[in-house]
Amino acid sequence: MKKILVIAIVLLYSQASNAQRDTSTIEQYCQLIATQRLLSNKVTIDIDFGEEKSFWRDTRLKTYGGKIKKFNTIIDAMNYMSRDGWVFINAYPVRIGESERYHFAFKKQFAKSEIQDY
């Protein structure tokens, strides 16, 4: 009888501890920046996830194989973001001298356990 009671208590305790996981989510944002290349029809795509930029560290977006991810067009980059679960919010141009950059804002829901700051 004691064995059954102990097994029942252990099972109930493990079930109760399992129910206390934090399943809340948090919204994160990123920005895709498209800059026209000099003397070319192509654009350079930079994705800003809010990370610290450093001259000594390469923060360019890489594929799972470790190669630098290159995009053919702005639409190619936007499709990539969509496939990765990012939702488009807004787009706006920024003029710097004679050149113009296009900024595209995205958002995505993450579990708090996935975010390192929480």
**Does 1 fall in a domain?**
no
Q: What is the pTM of this model?
A: 0.70
b vs e for 91-113, b when ≥16 Cβ sit within 10 Å of the residue's Cβ?
Answer: eeeeeeeeeebbebbbeeeeeee
What is the secondary structure of 29-91 as a DSSP string?
A: EEEEEEEEPTTSS-EEEEEE-SPPP-SSS----B-TTSPBP--SSHHHHHHHHHHTT-EEEEE
pLDDT in tens, 37-87: 778 777 888 888 888 777 777 777 777 888 888 888 899 999 999 999 999
**Does 13 fall in a domain?**
no
**Does 8 fall in a domain?**
no
**Does 11 fall in a domain?**
no
16 pLDDT above the threshold of 70: no
88: domain range? 24-114
**Does 4 fall in a domain?**
no
Domain count of the chain?
1
Token pair, residue 108, equals 């995505």
